Structure formats: structure tokens, C-alpha cells
Amino acid sequence: MRILHTSDWHIGRTFHGHQTLNALADVLAVLVAQVRSHRVDVVVVAGDVFDSSTPAAGCYTLLTDTLVALRETGATVIVTSGNHDSAARLGFQAKLLRDGIHILTDPLAIGTPITVADAHGPVHFYGIPFLEPTLVRHLWEGLETRTQAQTLAHAMELVRSDAAARRADDGTARTVAIAHCFAAGVAATPHLERDIQQGGLDVVPLSTFNGVDYMALGHIHGRSRLSDTVRYAGAPLHYSFGEGDKPRGSWLIDLDDAGFAAAQWLDLPVPRPLVTLRGALDELLTDERFAAVEAAWVRAEYTDTAQQVDVMRRLQQRFPHCAEVRHAPAVRAVDDGETFAGRVRAARDDAALVDAFLVHVRNGEGVTAAEAELVREVIGDRVAAKAMA
């Protein structure tokens, strides 16, 4: 059996205020073509289908069109909910979907698989929707389910128990489980995969996933292989500059009669690459070595000692898709422990007061020689005007 493992579509997410719906539609169209060309039997979407619990109408349209297109390739489609999804909204039409498309959002159905057969017999797919402990604790009274690790451990026990019972009837039965969580040993993108703690008790140990032939995980936006049979596919689009160096795609998984047989990475196109540029502002605006990335999404870090004026507008004249600007001085002032208030009190005259202000706002750089001359002229004119009054 051939399985395509994808996740974290985040339909409706924006990128620094820019809509991504059209770009995502183009990428998902390529994914559908890959499913067809590789003769995939089952497509697994491991959570975070939507970016919001209240997606806009256009998000539903893209999801519906993509699910239908995937099904028309002949593949069975199995979708679970993630921490960004509203399980109720994602699953409200589950019973109305055409045959071969399954949206699994009910925690009480974790131990009931979707079964798809191949030449070697049945493969049981167990969908585990995102389990927020405080919201599902009442479903399993008497169990310790205060953390995601504990809750997911119980869910996997339900999976293993049902799989064992089915295996007793058919010794060749194979199992695939799908979950959305932060697993131990995976590197996350800072400030991106939100809402599930990435430390402490909500990290799920890798041993939790023992006992299945393949574990399809979602939540982390970068491709990751925790073991041959436990993997993250990541998101199909880049949603932050922290992901810029991470490939986009999905895992193509082959099962033989004994279980996991092989895994192949299928790249997806990147509609617009992400780059981080660093240099003095004039260098960023004029240096020809940046010409090749003028059409990319740009995060610019300008290294001038002092903050510059109207930086974003100026950069966007060269890089129309500049989305983020940071002031990152190449040389930072040594902290002498002096506060701005202390510098003001120590100023002997108006010129020294201006210098103290500039030292405070310009990373330790006071007035230049040219500025000092200008300051003296302005102060002199003010003093003269005051005397005449």
C-alpha cells in the first residue's frame, strides 16, 4: 500500500499581512498531481487543516475542492483535526462527505479505524484528533490525563488494544496512526507552532508511538524523521522566515505485507522563496549581489549604527515583497551602566543635552562633527532670539 503523509495546511493563514490562499491552492494542486502520478492509495492529513477555528468561506471552498480532487485520483483521504482547527467546524459535514473521504474529529472514535485493503490484506488507519486535556478529560474519568503526553498515551493504548483484537482475527493486519502533537526529539520553529507547549510535561515521549507500522504526525512545520516509522511531514507553505531553509513537501510511505517498507520525500514547489538579508542600508539598496532575490519574500536586517528613516518604504522600492525589517547594529555600544536620566542630569549645557539624547537613541553614537556645528548654530540662534525678545 502507498500512503501520502501531509499535514499543517493552515488554510487561511496570512504571511506578514499578505494572503496565502492562492499560493496554497497552487501548491495543493501539485500535491494532487503527485498523488495521481505516484498511484497513492491513501492520503493522510495530520491536523491543522485550517489556521483558525473560524475560517472564512474561501477556506472551506479550497478544502472541499482539494478533498474532492484527491478522491478523484482514486485515493482514500483521511483527515484529522489539529490544535488550530475547530473540531466541530471541521467535522460538521463528515457524515455528508462522499465515500472515501473521512474527517476524524471525535475522541471517542479513536479506537475505531478506517480500514483500507490492498493485495496483502487490511490496513487499519487510526485517526487521533488533537486532544486538549482540559476539554477531553471528562471522556475518560478515572484516568490521569492532565497533560498531552498522558492523554495521547491513553489514545495510543486505545489504538493498540483495538489493533491487537483485530490482529487476533487476521494476523496480517497492519496499522497506521495519525496524531497532532509535539514529540520529544523534534526541533520546532520558534514562535510558530503555537498553543501546544514545547517543553515540560506536554512533550510526548517517542515511546508513546510504539506498536504501529507507521505514525503520521502533524504540528511541526518542518520535515522531521524521528525514526523510520515516526515522521513529521511539515507544512506545504513557508509561514515564517524561521522556516525559510526547510523544504516543503510530503512523505510517500510504502507498506508491504510485513508493515513499513520504505519512505520517499516528495518536494513541493515554493511559490516565493524566503530570504534574510543583512548589511548596511545603503548596501541593501544598491549592492548587485542582492539582485537575484529582489522578487523573494525579504526580511532585512540593516546594520547601521543608528536607526534610519523610512526604512521599509525605501527597501520595498527595490524588494517589493520586503515583509520585515530589523535594526541589527553591527557594533553595539558597551553598556556603561549610565541611564538616560543620569546623562541628562550630567549635561552641562544644551549642546551636551542633545548629545546625551543621541547617545541614548543611536546605540551609543553621539553627535558627529557636522551635527555638532549645526547644533551650535541652532542654539546660538535660539539664544539670540531670546535675547532680542
pLDDT digits over 159-202, tens only? Answer: 999 999 988 887 778 999 999 998 987 766 554 444 444 433 47
Q: Work out the number of other CB atoms within 10 angstroms of the CB of residue 238.
A: 26
Q: What pLDDT digit, counting tens, does each position of 249-301 carry?
A: 999 999 999 999 999 999 999 999 999 999 999 999 999 999 999 999 999 99
> For the segment 82-131, what is each residue's pLDDT rounded down to a tens digit?
888 876 677 666 665 778 999 999 999 999 999 999 999 999 999 999 98
Q: What is the CATH number of domain 2-267?
A: 3.60.21.10
- The domain locations on the chain are 2-267, 274-327, 340-388
CA-to-CA distance for 10 and 249, rounded, in angstroms? 14
CA distance linking residue 230 with residue 232, whole number of Å: 7
Cβ–Cβ under 8 Å, residues 196 and 148: yes
- In angstroms, the CA 121 to CA 64 distance is 30
The answer to whether the predicted template modeling score (pTM) of the entire model surpasses 0.85 is no
Strand 259-267 and strand 249-256: pairing? antiparallel
pLDDT 10s digits, 194-209 = 444 443 347 899 999 9
Q: Which amino acid is at 237?
A: L
| pLDDT at residue 184, as a whole number | 84
